Amino acid sequence: MKTFSIFLFVTFLSLVLLNCGKKNDPGILTPDPEPVNPVFRVTPNQLDFQGASSQNVIFYSTHSWTASSNQEWCTCTPSSGSDGSTQVQIFVMTNITGNTRDAEITFTVEGEKTVLKVSQESSAQANYVPQGYSLVWNDEFNDPRLSDGKVALPNTSKWYYETGAHGWGNNEIQNYVPGFLGKDTCAQVYNGTLKIIAKKVGNQVLSIRLNTIESWTYGYFEARMKLPTGKGTWPAFWMLAKDMKNWPDDGEIDIMEEVGYDPNNIVCTIHCKAYNHSLGTQRGATRRVPTAQTDFHVYAVEWTEDYIYGFVDGVRYFTFANDKTGNKNTWPFNVPFYLKLNLAWGGNWGGAQGVDESKLPATYEIDYVRVYQKK
């Protein structure tokens, strides 16, 4: 009887040890666990835009994911990720269609999908273009980032650089560079705008002076811009004759100028042999724009064979009429002119009250430049 009891105990112990081995022995095949459905969501699930800009959403997922847009004008970064919460930037380009447009960003996880809806109003709703004009040239600065993630430079099929540090006739301090110097980039195109950046590098201030390759005789010329801050800045949007041989004889049209020590006071001016600042006879006008350095505004001129008008946000504040004498000294404005964008530092006007280098880097931001002419 005693021997039989010992036999039962040993048998029981063996069964227990055998069962424990089945649970822990990696060599024992066990059924796969039931698949877990992915959990994911985008917050918020709808975005509304005005103009070219970006907004962020949070995408949460328990698995790896991808995202894609059904419209080229709407993109997302990053477009893929792993589990967890990810901040995704949604960027839309300028909408000049005249209508509100829609896009969808589709997030896909393990074959399942959720959609972020994007709506964008047209920037063309604030249309200041005079009747009878049609768009003939434009740069919306909607270039995407490069494949290596770096920002783009201005399109050299539309623009070229003027370079140098020789004062430019105004004792300016900056050194204009061809987009960048070494690792310091002063012309950057991303998120739908061109950024012209004046920055201190070593013992010099670097900046940008851009010119359009094309030129035009007469038209309506406009740009939507936000101006830099800081004493010493001197942003400009202006025009010179394509065949410029002598200044001021061949003419200059200053669509927009402002200096940092006199912020938000916008100036529109013309220069020619009879009327120029060297003689103190220049013809111009000033308009105060209280948010010129914090918000975007549209600066423009309408130039015809009879007059040159200057505008801010569609409001005309400058008029210069052709005296019809046929005298180039008073009206050299009957030949092709090209457009210019630059950010000067210091100089006879920009530095008239000194400069404040603590305000560097300073950024001059341009949303678009457009040229219209009559058919």
- Amino acid, single-letter form, for residue 55: Q
Nearest alpha-carbon partner for 274 in 331, 333, 195? 331
Q: Which two tokens stand for residue 19?
A: 């069962």
For residues 11 and 8, what is the distance between their CA atoms, to the nearest angstrom? Answer: 5
The domain segmentation of the chain, as residue ranges, is 40-124, 127-374
Residue 257 bears catalytic tag:
yes
CB 301 within 8 A of CB 216: no
The residue from 140, 172, 222, 257 that is catalytic is 257
- Residue 1: the pLDDT is 52
Contacts of 312 (CB under 8 A, 6+ apart): 256, 266, 287, 289, 297, 298, 299, 300
- Residue 100: the pLDDT is 87
H/E stretch holding 313 reads none
For residues 363 and 199, what is the distance between their CA atoms, to the nearest angstrom? Answer: 9
Nearest alpha-carbon partner for 300 in 96, 126, 128, 94? 128
Rg, Å, the chain Cα set: 32
- Amino acid, single-letter form, for residue 286: T
CATH number of 127-374: 2.60.120.200
For residues 116 and 41, what is the distance between their CA atoms, to the nearest angstrom? Answer: 10
* Alpha-carbon torsion (153, 157, 159, 162), positive or negative: positive
Q: How does pLDDT run along the chain (375 residues), one tens digit per residue?
A: 555 555 555 555 555 445 554 444 555 555 556 557 899 999 999 999 876 678 999 999 999 999 999 998 888 999 999 999 999 999 887 776 667 899 999 999 999 999 999 998 876 546 899 999 999 999 999 887 776 768 889 999 999 999 999 999 999 999 999 999 988 999 999 989 999 999 999 999 999 999 999 999 999 999 999 999 999 999 999 999 999 999 999 999 999 999 999 999 999 999 999 999 999 999 999 999 999 999 999 999 999 999 999 999 999 999 999 999 999 999 999 999 999 999 999 999 999 999 999 999 999 999 999 999 998
CA 336 from centre of chain: 28
Give the number of residues written for the chain.
375
The residue from 252, 258, 302, 365 that is catalytic is 252
Cβ neighbourhood burial of 251 (10 Å; 0-12, 13-18, 19+): buried
For residues 160 and 137, what is the distance between their CA atoms, to the nearest angstrom? Answer: 16
Please name the fold of domain 40-124.
Immunoglobulin-like (2.60.40)
Omega prior to 78 cis, within 30 of 0:
yes
Residue 214 bears catalytic tag:
no
Strand 46-50, strand 112-121: pairing? parallel
For residues 224 and 298, what is the distance between their CA atoms, to the nearest angstrom? Answer: 4
Which residue is associated with the tokens 């992915």? 38
Provide the 10 A C-beta neighbour count for residue 260: 24
**Which DSSP string do the residues of 235-282 spell out, in sequence order?**
EEEEEEETT--STTTT-EEEEEE--TTSTTEEEEEEE-SSS-TTTT--
End-to-end CA distance of the chain: 119
DSSP H helical ranges for 143-222: none
For the chain, count helices (H), then strands (E).
Answer: 2, 28
Which residue is associated with the tokens 């950010």? 343
Phi, psi at 142, each rounded to 5°:
-100, 15
Which residue is associated with the tokens 């065949």? 243
For residues 302 and 71, what is the distance between their CA atoms, to the nearest angstrom? Answer: 35
Contacts of 275 (CB under 8 A, 6+ apart): 281, 282, 283, 330
